[in-house]
Structure 1
Amino acid sequence: MVGEDNGRHPALFDVIGRLGGYLFLDPDSAREHIFSGLVHYPQGWHFSTALLDGFLRSAGDPPTGARLMDHYVLWCLATFGLLVLALIWAAQHVAGPLHPLRRVVLVIGVTALVLGAELPRLLVAGYPSEAFGLSLAVVLVALVARPLHRLREQLILVGALLIGIGFSYYLFLFPTGAMVLCWLVADRRRLRTRPGTVAIVAVVTAALAPLIALIGVLVAGQSEALAAPGGTPPVETYNTILGLGALVVAAVLVRTNLAESTWRRYLVALAVALLFSASMAAVNLANGTQPAYYFGKTAHLVIVVLTIGAAALARLLPVPPAPSTDSEPRRRPITGVVPAVATAALVTLAVLAGTGLVGWTGGFFHRNGGNGTWAKDWAGRDVRAVSRTASVTNTAYRNYPAIPGTVTLVLDKQGLQGYRESIFLSAMQGTSGQTEPGIYFQIYNEPARTAEILRRVPRPLRLIVADPAAQQAIDGALAADPALRDGLTVVPLKPTTPR
C-alpha cells in the first residue's frame, strides 16, 4: 500500500480512538494531536472503525506503532470487502427475481468487474473513506432504483444512508441527494400516505446530512481542493465508463428491461452520476488542468453504478426450460439444459477474461502498459520486497522513540522520500500534530526543503538522516546560517550504539 494517505488515515483513526469522538467538535484540542488539515476532514469511516476496534480490543490499550498500521490495514480490507458485498447485493436487488443460473453469472460478473477495473486502487492508494462512502452510495442507488415495499423502512434507510455519506465522504452527497430527489418526485403520491414519517426523516436528514460538508466548506475552505491536480491517468477510467457503459445501457434499453420502472429509475440514477462526473471534469478544465484527482473520485461513482447495471445483462441470459406442468411430468432431456448452461459458461469466461482476472492479457481495464490490473498488481506483489519508504520508516521507529516536546523528522536523498517517511513515522509515533510544520509545505526539492525545515520548525528538533545526501543538505544549511544549530539534534538512521 504505497499511497501517502496510508500514513494520514491511520493517524486520524488513532487520534479519534484516543480522544473518543469526532475531532471537529473540539478543534483546538485536536490540533495538538493531528495535522490541522484533517481536523475537519470527513471522519465517519475513522469514527466507525475506531469504535469497532475498541469493542474488539475490549479493555486493551489503543494500538500504536506497527500494531496501529496492522489494525488500519485490516479495517481497510474489511471496508473494501463491504464495498464488494454491497455491489453484489445491489445488483441482485435491482435485478429482482432471478433464475439461479443468472444469479451465479451475475455474482461472478460483479466481482470480476470490481477486481478488474480501477476500484482496487482504493486499497493501494489509501482511500478507505471513499470506499466506505461508495458502499453507502451503492445501497442507496439500489433503493432508489427498486424501492422497498415498506415505505417507512425505505424512508428511514434512505435518510440514514444520506447522513452516512455526508459524514464519511460528502463529495458523493451531491449526486446521491439528487438521485433521492428524483425518487421523491417519482413516488410523490405514495409518499402522501406517510406524511409524518416523511416530515421527521426530511428534517433529520436535512439537518445532519450536509453538516460535515458545510463545516468543511465554510470553516476549513475545502472547496478549493476540487481543482487539485494528480490522480491516475484518466484513460483507464474512460475505457471503463465507455466500454461498460455501452453494454449496460444497451441491455437496459432492451424492451424486456425498459418495460419495468426499476430500469427507468436506474437510467435516471446513472444520468445523475454521469452529469456529476462531467461537471467535475469541467471544473478541472476551467482551472486549466486536465480532469484529475476528484474527477477520478466521481468516475468511481459512475463505475459502481454501471457495475450494478450488469444486472440488466444477466436478465437477458437464456435459462433452462421450466419443468413440465403435465399431470404426468416427463423427464426433461438434458439437451434442453445444455444451451443455457453453455451460454452462461461462455459469458462468465468472457467476463473473467475481459476484466483481466484470467487469461494472458490485462483485460479491457488496463492499469498501465504492462497489461496488468490494480488487483493483480497488488495481490502479486512480493511482500518480502519491502519498499525503501517502509524500511526507513520502520528502522527510524525502532531506533528513535518519540521524545515528548521534540519534533522528529526524517530526511532522505529526495525531499519527497523524506516527506512520506515523516508522515508514516509521525502516524506510528502519534505525533502528527507536532510534525506538521516540517512536513506540509510546497517545497520538495533538496537541499531547499531541508533548509526550509530548519528555518520553520520549532525547537527542539531531531532530524533522522537516512542518506548521506541528506547530511550534506543539513551541513550546507547550517554553514549558511549557523544560528539554525540551536535546539537541533542530528542522528543517523542506524545508530552505532544500541538504543
Structure 2
Amino acid sequence: MQAPEPAEPSGAPTRGAGRRAMAVLIALALSWLIPLAAYAVSATIVLPFVFLALVASLLRAGRTILDRLVLAFALTAGAMCMAGLLFSAWPWGLHPVPVSGLGFSVLVLVAALLRRRPELPRVGTLSDLFTVGLTGVIGFLTLWPYLGRGLVGRISLIAVAEDLGRHFALYDGIRTAGGYTFMHRPDLKAGLTDDLTAYPQGSHFAMGLFDNFWRAGTGAGSGQEAMNHFVYFYAATFVLIIFAVMWSMRWVAGTALSPWRYLVLASAAAAYLYFGDGMAMFLRGFPSEFAGLALLAILVAVVARPLSRLREQLCVLASLTIALSFTYYLFLPLAGAMLLVWLIGYRKQLLERRLLTAGVALITGVGALIVPVVNWKYASKSEAVNAAGGISPTNRHLLMLLVFVVALGLASKYAWRHPVRRRVILWMLAAVGIAALMFLYQTAVIGETSYYYEKLLHQLFVVALVCLGATWLVVPHYQPGHFRPGRRPRPAFANAWTAVPLALAVTVTIAYNANPDRYVWRKPGKDYSWGVSYFLKGMDQPKLARAVLAAVQAQPDPEGKATILQMRNDWEANYYGTLWVDVMQRNLGVAWPVKPPLGTQESPAALKDRITRQFPGTPIRVMTNDPATLDTVQRIRRDRPELGLDVLFSNPTRCGYRFEPVAAPAPGKEPAPVPVIPFPANGCKSKAKSPAPVQVPVTNPTNNPDRE
C-alpha cells in the first residue's frame, strides 16, 4: 500500500493572482469614477496632470522626477496623436470623461501587463531646480505683456502674425468638430480653407483637448472666448521649447555636468531663444514649429544619450517620431536619419528582441506616414518648397557663433571615442547638411533663399543648443594619468559666487547682441533685441486690435456672408484685421478668398471691382471707417441690390470704433452724407482730441467711370 502523496501547498499563488485581478478591476473602476467625479465638480483640469504623473510613475528610466515627467510627456505626445484618430471617429468627440477614462484604463492594463506598481525616483537635483526656475522666469517674461490687458491688448501683441490666425482657426475647428479637421471636412467648410484642414495639427489637437479639460466640457463658446484661451496656449508652446532645450542639454551632458556650470549653460540657451530667434518666431506666430522643435530637442537628447532600458527607449523614440510627424513633419527627415544611426548602433540588442522591435517599427512607420499622406495634395509640389512666407530672417551672427562654439567643443581626438559625443557630432553634421542642401537648391532654382530655408536654420540652432551640452567646453574630458588618483581639476564657475554673475553676464550680452542683423519687416525699435522690445510692448498694434474686436463684437455671427475690413489709409488693418475677424467669426473658409490685398491700400474703385466682378456670387459684408469706401459701397448697394451687400460703418469723427449697420439708399437717390459727431457725444476725452471730419470727394454720377 502506497503512502498518500503529500498535500499541495496552500493556494498562495492562486490567492495572489486573485488579489491582483481584484486590484486591476478596482483600478479600472476608478479610471472612470474619478473622471466622472471631476466632471461633476468642474475639476477636469487636474486630470491631464494626474495622467502625466501616473505615466511617469510607471517608467523606470530617468534619475529624477523631472526626467520622468519629460519622458512621460514624450510618451504621451505620440500616444495622444494616435488616439486622436479614435477620438475623432467615436461619438463622444473630445469630451474629458471618455477621453480620460480610456486613458486611465489603458494605464491600468499596461501596469498589469508589465506588473509594475507606481514608483517615483528622488525628487530632483539642483540642476532640476535651475531648469524649473529658469522656465518660470521665461514664463513670466512671456506672459507679462498679456496680463491685465484684456483681449484687445493680447491681440495687439500678435496682430500681424498672419500664420497665427490660421493656427487659431485649426485649434478652434478641432474643438468645434470634436477631432482632427481632416476627418471632419464637411463640418468645417465655412470655418477652414480646404488646404488648412490637412495641415499637421498635433499641437492644435493638444490645445483643443486640453481646453476641453479646462472648460470641463465640449461647448465651443464664442470666438472671443476661444481666442482668450488660445493666446495663453500659444505662449505655453514658446515656453515649452525653451524648457525642452534646457532639459535636453542637461540630459546630453549627463551626471558629469555640475549644477552651477549647468546654470550658465541653461541661461545662455534661454537668453538665445527669448531675446533672439525664438522671440522673432514668436512674434510671427509659429505654435506648430515651437511644439515640433521641443519634440526634436528631446529626440536629440535620447538618441545621443539613450535610456537605460531598451523597451522604454524604443517606445519613447517611436512616440516622439509619431508626434513630430503629426506636429511639424518638416523636421522628420533629420529625425529619421538619426534614428537610423541609432538603430545601426544598437542592432545587436534590437535583434535579440526582434519581435518587439518589429512591432514598434511597424507602428512608428504607419503613424509617421498618416499626416504626410493626408497633406500630400498640398505639400507635394516643388513650388511649395520654395514658397515665400512671413518669416523673420535668422540672426546669422549668433547662429554662426553658436555653430562655431559647438564645433570647437567637439574638435577633440577623444570626442569620436565617446559614444554620446559621437552621436552628437552626427546630429550636427546632419542638421548642417540638410540646411546646406536647402540653400543650394533654393539658390539654384529661385536665386535666393526663402521661407523653408529659415525653418531649417531654426532646426539647426535648436540641435546646436542641445549638442552644446556634450562639448568639452561644458563637460571636460579627463584622461587617465593626467591627474593624481582620485583627483580631478576643479571646474570653473563651480559655485554660486562665480556661476551666477557669469550667467547674468552671458544673458545680458546675448540680450544686447540679439537684434536683427538683416533686413526684416517690423524690426524692433531703438536697436533693441526681439525679447526686450516684446517685453516693453514695443511690438504692439493696439489700433489694429481695437478695430478687430469692435468688428467682432458688432457682428459675431457672419450670417453666411464674407466679412472684410476696409479701414481708411491702413492696409495692415484691412488685411490682418480681416483675417482675425474671419477666424473669430469661424468663417475663414467663406471669407478668406475675398480678402483685401497684402501690402497696399485698396482704392474704392478696386474694392468695387473686387465686389462686383471678381466675387459677384459671394455675399459680402464690408466694415469700414472710411467715408469714401462707404460712399462706394452704398452706390453698389443702390445699383446692384441682387449682390446682397451689407455695410457696417464706424464714424471717423468718433474716438474709438463703433461699427453700426447702414441702410441702403433708395433707388435713384444719392448716399447720405456722413454726419459729424460733436464732442462729447463722440466719446473723446477732450475736444482737442476729437478727430477732424473726413471730406468725401463729390462723385458726379454722369462722369463716374466706375458707375455701371
Q: Calculate the TM-score normalised by the size of structure 1.
A: 0.86
Matched, 1:18 2:173: no
Cα deviation, residue 241, structure 1:
2.3
Of residues 400, 405, 409, the one that matches 2:564 is: 409
Q: Is the 8 A contact 1:450 1:474 kept in 2?
A: yes
Cα deviation, residue 289, structure 1:
4.4
Cα deviation, residue 66, structure 1:
2.5
Matched, 1:279 2:434: no
Cα deviation, residue 75, structure 1:
0.4
Cα deviation, residue 221, structure 1:
4.7
Q: Is the 8 A contact 2:261 2:493 kept in 1?
A: no
The residue correspondences of 1:51-70 to structure 2 (distance < 5 A) are: 51-59=209-217, 61-70=219-228
The residue correspondences of 1:15-414 to structure 2 (distance < 5 A) are: 15-59=173-217, 61-97=219-255, 98-218=257-377, 221=380, 224-232=383-391, 234=393, 236-255=394-413, 257-311=415-469, 312=471, 313-316=473-476, 340-341=494-495, 344-345=499-500, 347-356=502-511, 361-363=512-514, 370-381=526-537, 386-412=541-567, 413-414=569-570
Cα RMSD for the two superposed structures:
3.1
Question: Does the residue aligned with 2:349 lie in a helix, a strand or coil?
Answer: helix
Bigger mean CA offset, 166-175 vs 432-441: 432-441
Cα deviation, residue 432, structure 1:
1.6
Of residues 447, 451, 457, the one that matches 2:609 is: 451
**Alignment partner, residue 431 of structure 1:** 587
CA distance in 2, matches of 1:338, 1:85: 25
Q: Is the 8 A contact 1:355 1:365 kept in 2?
A: no
Cα deviation, residue 297, structure 1:
1.0
Bigger mean CA offset, 79-88 vs 60-69: 60-69
Q: Is the 8 A contact 2:198 2:375 kept in 1?
A: yes
Cα deviation, residue 73, structure 1:
0.7
Shift in alpha-carbon separation, 1:388–1:469, aligned structure 2, 3 A: farther
CA distance in 2, matches of 1:451, 1:34: 25
Q: Is the 8 A contact 2:524 2:530 kept in 1?
A: no
Question: Does the residue aligned with 1:315 lie in a helix, a strand or coil?
Answer: coil
Give the aligned residue type for 1:245. V
CA distance in 2, matches of 1:104, 1:48: 31
Shift in alpha-carbon separation, 1:463–1:308, aligned structure 2, 3 A: same
User: 1:8-53: CA deviations, max 9, x gaps?
Assistant: 1111111110100111123233323212221111111111110011
Q: Is the 8 A contact 1:90 1:142 kept in 2?
A: yes
Q: Is the 8 A contact 2:174 2:181 kept in 1?
A: yes
Cα deviation, residue 68, structure 1:
1.5
Shift in alpha-carbon separation, 1:29–1:141, aligned structure 2, 3 A: same
Task: State the percentage of identical aligned residues.
Answer: 29
Shift in alpha-carbon separation, 1:178–1:34, aligned structure 2, 3 A: same
CA distance in 2, matches of 1:390, 1:365: 25
Q: Is the 8 A contact 2:292 2:324 kept in 1?
A: yes
Question: Does the residue aligned with 1:143 lie in a helix, a strand or coil?
Answer: helix
Give the aligned residue type for 1:395. A
Question: Does the residue aligned with 1:119 lie in a helix, a strand or coil?
Answer: helix
Q: Is the 8 A contact 1:13 1:49 kept in 2?
A: yes
Alignment gaps of 5+ in structure 1: 327-335
Cα deviation, residue 482, structure 1:
4.2
CA distance in 2, matches of 1:390, 1:105: 39
CA distance in 1, matches of 2:477, 2:525: 34
Cα deviation, residue 325, structure 1:
8.5
Question: Does the residue aligned with 1:205 lie in a helix, a strand or coil?
Answer: helix
**Alignment partner, residue 487 of structure 1:** 644
Bigger mean CA offset, 217-226 vs 87-96: 217-226
Q: Is the 8 A contact 1:410 1:466 kept in 2?
A: no
Cα deviation, residue 225, structure 1:
2.3
Alignment gaps of 5+ in structure 2: 1-157, 518-522, 651-657, 663-708
CA distance in 2, matches of 1:285, 1:108: 36
**Alignment partner, residue 330 of structure 1:** none
User: 1:98-133: CA deviations, max 9, x gaps?
Assistant: 222222222222222222330122321110000001
User: 1:155-211: CA deviations, max 9, x gaps?
Assistant: 111111111111111111111111111221222222222211210111111111022
- How many residue pairs were aligned? 477
Give the aligned residue type for 1:397. V
CA distance in 2, matches of 1:325, 1:446: 76
The higher relative CO (CA closer than 8 Å, separation ≥ 6) is in 1
CA distance in 2, matches of 1:256, 1:450: 71
User: 1:416-460: CA deviations, max 9, x gaps?
Assistant: 531211110011111222213312888955233552244315343
CA distance in 1, matches of 2:328, 2:181: 16
Bigger mean CA offset, 410-419 vs 166-175: 410-419
Question: Does the residue aligned with 2:432 lie in a helix, a strand or coil?
Answer: helix
Of residues 578, 583, 591, the one that matches 1:422 is: 578
Q: Is the 8 A contact 1:231 1:296 kept in 2?
A: no
Q: Is the 8 A contact 1:122 1:128 kept in 2?
A: no
User: 1:343-395: CA deviations, max 9, x gaps?
Assistant: 64564244213311xxxx33576566843222112111169x65332111111
CA distance in 1, matches of 2:499, 2:413: 21
Cα deviation, residue 299, structure 1:
0.6
Shift in alpha-carbon separation, 1:72–1:18, aligned structure 2, 3 A: same
Give the aligned residue type for 1:287. V
Q: Is the 8 A contact 2:288 2:328 kept in 1?
A: yes
CA distance in 1, matches of 2:378, 2:423: 36
User: 1:189-238: CA deviations, max 9, x gaps?
Assistant: 2222221121011111111102211221236656532211244454x432
User: 1:385-414: CA deviations, max 9, x gaps?
Assistant: 653321111111122232422332212235
Shift in alpha-carbon separation, 1:475–1:487, aligned structure 2, 3 A: closer
Q: Based on CA coordinates, which of the two structures has the bigger radius of gyration?
A: 2
CA distance in 1, matches of 2:465, 2:492: 28
Q: Is the 8 A contact 1:239 1:364 kept in 2?
A: no
Q: Is the 8 A contact 1:63 1:71 kept in 2?
A: no
**Alignment partner, residue 329 of structure 1:** none
Question: Does the residue aligned with 1:269 lie in a helix, a strand or coil?
Answer: helix
Shift in alpha-carbon separation, 1:368–1:391, aligned structure 2, 3 A: closer
